[in-house]
C-alpha cells in the first residue's frame, strides 16, 4: 500500500474545494504532498511562492500535509518524492475528458504511478480558482469559497492591480 500521495495543481489560489480534497486524502494516506506547479502556460495571477504560502495557510490544520512547488514533469517530481499515487479531483463530467488525457499521458510516461480520483463535497463541485478570481474582481463575496487569508491576499492584489506574473517571475 502506498503511504504517500501527491496532489498536483496550479492552485491560483487554493479554494475550499482543493482543501476538501486534501482533507479526504489525509484520511487515506499518511503523507499528502500538495505539489504546486509553476505552470507558466496558465499565466497564474499569483507567483509560485505566493501560491505556496496561501496553500500552507489554508492547509495548516490538516496533519500529514506538505506543500511544495515544482517546475518539471509531474511524474519526475512524483518519482523524486517517492510518491506512487497522483491525486486529482473530479468535480463534474466536464472534468473527465481533461483528466482522462492527463492520467493516460502520465501512465504512459511512468507506468508505476497510478492516478486516483476523489470527488469534493457537493457544495464545492462548482468552484474553480478562475471563477473565484472573477467574482472577487467584480466585487462579489468570495468568503464562502476560500480561506480568509487567501481572500485578503486576493483583495489586496486587486487593490494594487499587480499580477503575480507582472510583479514577480514564477519559479
Q: Which residues bind ligand COA (CB under 6 A)?
A: 8-12, 15, 17-18, 21, 37, 39, 42, 73-74, 89, 91, 102, 105-106, 120, 124, 127-130
| Torsions phi, psi for 76 (to 5 deg) | -70, -40
- 3 three-state secondary structure: coil
The CA distance from 162 to 159, in Å, is 8
The three three-digit cell numbers of residue 72, written as one number: 518539471
Burial class of 61 by CB neighbour count within 10 A (0 to 12, 13 to 18, 19+): exposed
How is residue 92 annotated by DSSP?
Answer: S
Q: Which is nearer to ligand COA, 72 or 167 (CB)?
A: 72
Catalytic-role residue among 42, 79, 84, 149 = 42
Residues 6 or more apart whose Cβ sits within 8 Å of residue 111: none
Catalytic annotation on 129?
yes
The CA distance from 43 to 113, in Å, is 28
- 45 three-state secondary structure: coil
Cis amide leading into 65 (omega within 30): no
Q: Which is nearer to ligand COA, 1 or 163 (CB)?
A: 163
The three three-digit cell numbers of residue 36, written as one number: 504546486
Q: Which is nearer to ligand COA, 5 or 37 (CB)?
A: 37
Q: What's the min distance (Å) between Cβ of 118 and ligand COA?
A: 8
Catalytic annotation on 18?
yes
Catalytic-role residue among 129, 133, 147, 157 = 129
Q: Which is nearer to ligand COA, 65 or 129 (CB)?
A: 129
Catalytic-role residue among 4, 16, 18, 147 = 18
Catalytic residues: 18, 42, 91, 129
Amino acid at each position: 500500500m502506498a503511504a504517500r500521495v501527491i496532489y498536483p495543481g496550479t492552485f491560483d489560489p487554493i479554494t475550499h474545494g482543493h482543501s476538501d480534497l486534501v482533507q479526504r486524502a489525509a484520511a487515506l494516506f499518511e503523507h499528502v504532498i500538495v505539489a504546486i506547479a509553476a505552470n507558466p502556460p496558465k499565466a497564474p495571477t499569483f507567483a509560485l511562492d505566493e501560491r505556496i504560502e496561501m496553500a500552507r495557510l489554508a492547509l495548516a490544520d490538516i496533519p500529514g500535509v506538505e506543500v511544495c512547488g515544482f517546475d518539471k514533469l509531474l511524474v519526475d517530481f512524483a518519482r523524486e518524492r517517492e510518491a506512487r499515487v497522483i491525486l486529482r479531483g473530479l468535480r463534474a463530467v466536464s472534468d473527465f475528458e481533461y483528466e482522462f488525457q492527463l492520467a493516460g499521458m502520465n501512465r504512459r510516461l511512468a507506468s508505476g504511478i497510478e492516478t486516483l480520483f476523489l470527488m469534493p463535497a457537493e457544495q464545492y463541485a462548482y468552484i474553480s480558482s478562475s471563477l473565484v478570481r472573477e467574482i472577487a474582481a467584480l466585487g462579489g463575496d468570495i468568503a464562502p469559497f476560500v480561506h480568509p487569508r487567501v481572500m485578503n491576499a486576493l483583495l489586496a492584489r486587486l487593490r494594487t492591480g499587480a499580477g503575480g506574473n507582472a510583479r514577480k517571475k514564477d519559479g
